[in-house]
Amino acid sequence: MLSDQKVKELETAANEIRENIISMLLAAGSGHSAGSLGMADVFTTLYLSGEVNVRAVDPWNEGRDRIILSCGHICPGLYATLAQAGYFPKEELMTLRKLGSRLQGHPHYRELPGIENSGGPLGQGLAQGIGQAIAGMRDGKSYRVYTILSDGELEEGANWEAIMLAGKLNLHNLTAIVDRNNIQIDGYTEDIMPLQPLTDKFRAFNWSVVEIDGHNFREIADALDKARAIFENPTVIVAHTIPGKGVDFMEGKFEWHGKPPNREEAEKALTELRSLGGKIATE
């Protein structure tokens, strides 16, 4: 159970991460706003709460848990969180999508400390995570594998082959985290290719399911704890998130899926986030 002080620390960190996401996207002039902002609380919990066995001081320790980002387009959120956690200097965040930068528009395996896979083509990350989970079980390792998926990429058939295999093999060391924000680049998921009943589908493939508010740190941490306690099958955490979370003119709008803010929009967003940060600090 996270203490009140720890929750406050995570809230402050997540708000700083969102500020850096906006600044990065403005500097790059391209990139994905909605999902990066929406998953900031999940990223923060994974890397800064102590719930997952990852450490910036020893990023490639053989016993570490593996965090795989399948939906690589929201890597601004991952990069900003890794920098917040001390994996590399925050100053480097402003090189996002620049020629020669380690922070490309989709993550590249081991280009930065903490980057466990190359992400780009949607629908591939879960299979990568399953491979690592199988290797861990066969080698008798205790590490866990966490794979972050977007809900839109679940429209890809390869995911369901992977989901079926993980259920067949009872990969209890595998946890999938679905960013259930209900948007994709062309509109809302339920208009384009309905995913409901999503949780029933996972259960039908022999997965345990935990549904949470993806902006509630205690629920996120509790779901990670529950997944560790399940030894019968893999677990999926369906995290209901608000795309563009923290920036009122972005929240819930699919148009911000792959769109960066211009200078005026960035200034407005940063003003709002800094105001929120001050509120957190005085609570």
| The three-state (H, E, C) secondary structure of 221-245, written as one string | HHHHHHHHCCCCCCEEEEEECCCCC
Report the C-alpha gap between 155 and 138 in whole angstroms: 30
pLDDT for the residue numbered 128: 97
pLDDT exceeds 80 at position 282? no
Report the C-alpha gap between 213 and 79 in whole angstroms: 23
Q: What is the mean pLDDT of residues 68-72?
A: 98
- Strands 183-184, 187-188: pairing kind: antiparallel
pLDDT for the residue numbered 275: 94
Q: Provide the mean pLDDT of the chain.
A: 97
Report the C-alpha gap between 198 and 180 in whole angstroms: 10
Give me the domains of the chain, ranges plus CATH numbers: 4-282 (3.40.50.970)
pLDDT bucket at 120, cuts 50 / 70 / 90: confident
Report the C-alpha gap between 52 and 67 in whole angstroms: 9
Backbone angles phi, psi at 203, to 5 degrees: -60, -35
| pLDDT tens-place string over residues 175-227 | 999 999 999 999 999 999 999 999 999 999 999 999 999 999 999 999 999 99
Is the pTM here over 0.85, yes or no?
yes
